[in-house]
């Protein structure tokens, strides 16, 4: 599984997201985290960054909201209890990673 953290320079929420991801993937040898600094709107559009930080799991933003445009702005996430934060909660990340792992597993009959 490939995790990409897209962010603008010096985004304070990038460290929070990275720390949460690192904690969740301990012991997962098949997970790669890449961090990419996005410097302009054209790059945000090309990469699919909908605010900083954006997490892509195998190229897909699991927290995308319909109609949300690519942006260099700060991104806000609403967690499972309605609190607003600059990064997804550990529970939200766990759910997104589990869903991606399920999609990636080959089906057996």
Instruction: Tell me the per-residue pLDDT of 32-69, one tens digit each, with 9 for 90 and over.
Output: 999 999 999 999 999 999 999 999 999 999 999 899 89
CA 28 to CA 6: how far, in whole Å?
21
Backbone angles phi, psi at 32, to 5 degrees: -120, 130
Specify the pTM: 0.90
pLDDT of residue 109: 56
Per the document, the length of the chain is 109
3-state secondary structure of 6: strand
Is the distance from CB of 53 to CB of 17 less than 8 angstroms? yes
What is the enclosing helix (H) or strand (E) of 77?
Answer: strand 77-78
Q: Which domains does the chain have, with CATH numbers?
A: 2-104 (3.40.30)
């Amino acid at each position: 599984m490939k995790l990409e953290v897209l962010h603008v320079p010096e985004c304070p929420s990038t460290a929070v997201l990275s720390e949460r991801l690192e904690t969740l993937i301990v012991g997962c040898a098949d997970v790669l985290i890449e961090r990419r600094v996005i410097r302009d709107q054209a790059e945000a559009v090309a990469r699919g960054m909908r605010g900083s930080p954006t997490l892509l799991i195998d190229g897909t933003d699991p927290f995308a909201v319909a109609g949300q445009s690519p942006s260099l702005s700060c991104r806000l996430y609403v967690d499972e209890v309605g609190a607003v934060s600059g990064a997804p909660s550990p529970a939200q990340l766990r759910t997104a990673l589990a869903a991606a792992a399920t999609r990636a597993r080959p089906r057996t009959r």
